[in-house]
Amino acid sequence: MRTLSTGSAASSKAEGNDESEMAALLRAGDPNGALATLARAGSAANVRMANMQFNALLAIGHSVEAAIEGVLATCTRGGFTPSQSICVNVLHALDKHSTPEAVLAWLARMREAGMQPDTAACNVQLKAIMRLTPPDFTGAAALLSSMMRSLAAGGAAGYPPPDEVSFNTVITAMGTAGRPDKAEDILHSMLDAGFAPSRITFTAVVSAFARARRPADAARTLWRMIDAKVLPDAMALNTALSAYANVADVPGARKLLAWFEEHARDELPCAQPDLISYNTLLLACVRAEKPAEAEAAFAQLLAAGLQPNQVSYSTVLNAHAKAADGKAAQAWLDRMAAAGLQPDAVSYNTVCSAHAKRGDAAAALRCVERMRREAVEVTPTTHAILIHALTTSGELEAAVESLRALVHAKASLSAASFNALISAQGKAGCIAAAETTFGMMLSARVEPSQGWAEMGESSSPNVSPNISRRESREVSLHNQTEVEADLSAGAIAGAMAPAPSMPRGESMPDVRLLGVPLTRSRSDRLRLLRVAQQVMAAEGACGASGAIDASGSAIAGLAFVRSKSEAALGSASGAVPPAIPLMRSAASELALTLGSFAM
């Protein structure tokens, strides 16, 4: 850095005053005042003021890139180059606000300028490498190894030595990426290099095993932490407990918690179980679908002298809801309210769902009415649960009227509301009503999500196979598909078409998906033609009344199969035959066939 010479003691004093004033304004939270001081200093600004300028520009909302440009302009006016302090300041800002690629690019610029990154900068580099998509595990390991070799060589290897943050950065990243064994390997390397892992280091390894759903290894690391005379805190305990909750191991979680309840007060005061500890045990009970155990854990929480929060009550409530015990779930909702905690929409929806599973529509309705009285937002999920409750109790007409009223009121609805009713109508053999509900869904601009075939699989036996075919998957409104089949056989009759056979000397017809002709072998094309005929026959046997509107045009959102020979006959007679709806399952069948040819 070139030192400026003003040739005047007075100007040097003024420069010092400007720098002090700028620093004071920044400390006082006045970045605009600091920038005004810099502007007044003009070419007398120094490199330290340029560094403060960067912080001030970020504070008033400038992007990192814009702040860099401002600082470089100040350096040019003052006739000095950016210092390493400025470059490191920029590096940390990029780490916080920008992409990992931008961080690595700036580090490369620093090295090109002859600035050797220190340990803190290399730690930022390690973090950036592991934030890449996908993470560069090899690059992170290579950088950490270089830093460790430099440590062994006394800094002669050209890299700064690692510190605890270096190891912790890579351990945490390995855990997040689902590589717990690698995380533990780095812990071993840290120990071999003579570093003493801290509570943060051990907890990161425990977390890695917890994420991987390996509670035994998480607990083993926790005990190893204690053996190393590193006192765990409640976070370390809760992380290990979460490993048991992730696999619904209630006995394991209860045993670990009991040990800390007994020993923490005298031996491990920082690891005294807290509210999160007991809530994690409650979560294990929910995932194990053991509501009685959840109630026992709640009692254990109270016995520990802790005050349950909304999560505590909601978790027990959820345990009963999973068991379809609406009465017990409702009781815990009441207990939550009695404790002065306002249940949220999730809690109400959970109780409604428990009533719906039992087909208790009246109780579900009462729950929704209570939501409205308590000014809790009724969500699309709430509406879907309510419709499900009505259909489960066999009140299809009430479900239709409720859904129609919701559509008319322009309520926020999801496809789940319509799917529940369509499925129930299909099971009852009310195919026309199901098609009407599907039309209502389209008119409400709700995009279909669940497959008709999935809803039709559990239909009653009196629904014909052809109807089940008609109840095949809905087609995305945004990605419509048209499959054209050029069939020389003309119109196809019957529920299932026989295997096609071509007269000798006659060429195979083209069968195209999305307008792409097939040029495969004769046997392959015959197989595809058979699939197309079967699809058309199955769809055609159902009639097309539900897919054509009053003007005779097809409802948007469906795909169609049309025989070119039929289209030609229709145009010759002056009447165009209606297109036959091809739902997504049929299109998928053709696509799978095409895919098998292309193997």
Query: Would you write out the chain's pLDDT as a tens digit for each of its 599 residues?
Result: 333 333 444 445 455 689 999 999 999 999 999 999 999 998 889 999 999 999 999 999 999 999 999 999 999 999 999 999 999 999 999 999 999 999 999 999 999 999 989 999 999 999 999 999 999 999 999 999 999 988 877 765 678 999 999 999 999 999 999 999 999 999 999 998 889 999 999 999 999 999 999 999 999 999 999 999 999 999 999 999 999 999 999 999 999 999 999 988 888 989 999 999 999 999 999 999 999 999 999 999 999 999 999 999 999 999 999 999 999 999 999 999 999 999 999 999 999 999 988 889 999 999 999 999 999 998 888 888 988 898 988 899 988 998 998 888 888 888 888 988 888 888 888 888 888 898 898 888 888 865 544 444 444 444 434 433 333 333 332 333 323 333 333 332 333 333 444 444 444 443 333 333 344 455 555 555 555 555 555 544 444 333 333 333 333 333 333 333 333 333 444 443 333 344 444 444 444 444 443 33
Half-sphere exposure of 117 (CA within 13 A, CB side): 26
| Encoded amino acid at 81, one letter | T
Distant-in-sequence contacts of 223-231, Cβ < 8 A, 24+ apart: 225/199, 226/268, 228/197, 228/202, 230/197, 230/198, 230/199, 230/202, 231/199, 231/268, 231/270, 231/271
How many angstroms from the chain centroid is the CA of residue 275?
A: 27
Burial label for 262, CB within 10 Å (0-12, 13-18, 19+), is exposed
Question: Where do the structural domains in the chain lie, given as residue ranges?
Answer: 207-308, 483-547+555-598
Nearest CA to 297 out of 265, 251, 349, 342 is that of: 251
Pairing type for strands 483-485 and 559-563 reads parallel
Residue 580 DSSP one-character state: E
Task: Identify whether the C-beta of residue 352 lies closer than 8 Å to the C-beta of residue 361.
Answer: no
Residue 161 DSSP one-character state: P
Report d(CA 217, CA 205) in Å as an integer: 9
Distant-in-sequence contacts of 513-517, Cβ < 8 A, 24+ apart: 513/483, 513/590, 513/591, 513/594, 514/481, 514/482, 514/483, 515/484
